[in-house]
Amino acid sequence: MNATALPIFFAPLQGYTEAIYRNAHATVFGGVDTYYTPFVRLEKGNFRNKDLRDIDPAQNRVPHLVPQLIGAQKDKIEKILGQFIERNYKEADINMGCPFPLLAKRCNGSGILPFPEEVDKIMDVVRQHPEIRFSIKMRLGWEDPGECIRLLPILNELPLTHITLHPRLGKQQYKGETDLESFRAFAEDCRHPLIYNGDIKTLEDIEQIQNRLPSLAGIMIGRGLLANPALALEYKEGRVLSSEEMKEKLFTLHKLVFKDYDAQIQGGESQLLNKMKVFWEYLEPQIGHKAWKTIHKSTSLAKYQAAIGTI
């Protein structure tokens, strides 16, 4: 086992890390200390059924789950938090990092970072709910890495468990390089435990980040874990899985995910097929381009199963 291993947090990704996938991942691979739900939001004043289903404790079987919320107004955040409290959650993560323009232009996610006064308003929720342990996931800013620094007087005074920082700007989305110098500048004056998130794809990436940022309290991985579901396990055990181990675990993961989506989805074959294609979205490095392409070109479940058989 890796004696110096940091806690690993599985980042939430809309459409990918739903309860069914999280449960299967924890069962088959593990190595993750904390899983996060994709953010819950209000849409035209109402909740999406799939969001509420995803935070239902009866649907979740991972060792430690934290629900995430997103919103630009305090009253909306209160309403979402009410759903968490109703389900007996004692923790909540506030998303100030989502880079998608449709949400950001309404001051959601990283779109709120340029506005300290608005951040301060929504943070009243943290101050007024001492019974909930809050964390924040954020970026350096929307268009200026100084935006996160300007928020520190507000953030430092809050009773947060930690801050997760992705060292990119919101307007970059996932393009360009991560900015470790701006991460360090934030870390110097941040009073909370700090978790690194961004472009972690290999064991070497984790090792480099640990060496370059020795004061980290943990590492959050999203796309890297979807591309290599064994990454957290390999990090904790200090070894790379053999190709046979990886193949066996990957097929077991697929079997569990397929079985649960088949039971949940009532919309017919095409809906299940589309959902299962998403499962393979990031897995091309594991199965090869030819098999990956065949899966994504499948037009029926029979063709899909035949494509899986070629791996």
- Does 137 appear as a known binding residue? yes
**Catalytic residue status for 98:** yes
| Separation of alpha carbons 161 and 95, rounded Å | 14
Is 68 annotated as contributing to ligand binding? yes
310: number of Cβ within 10 Å: 11
Q: Look at the block and give the residue holding tokens 């591309």.
A: 227
Angle of CA points 145, 37, 22, to nearest 5°: 120
Burial of 264 (0-12, 13-18, 19+ CB in 10 A): middle
Q: Is 191 annotated as a binding residue?
A: no
Parallel, antiparallel or unpaired: strands 42-43 and 68-69: unpaired
Backbone φ and ψ of 43, nearest 5° = -120, 110
Catalytic hit among 98, 107, 148, 190: 98
How far apart CA 236 and CA 222 sit, in angstroms, is: 17
In the block, residue with structure tokens 């949940």:
264
The answer to the question of whether 166 is labelled as a binding residue is: yes
201 is in an annotated binding site: no
State the catalytic residues.
98
Q: Which residues are annotated as a binding site?
A: 68, 137, 166, 222-223
Q: Which residues are annotated as a binding site for FMN?
A: 68, 137, 166, 222-223
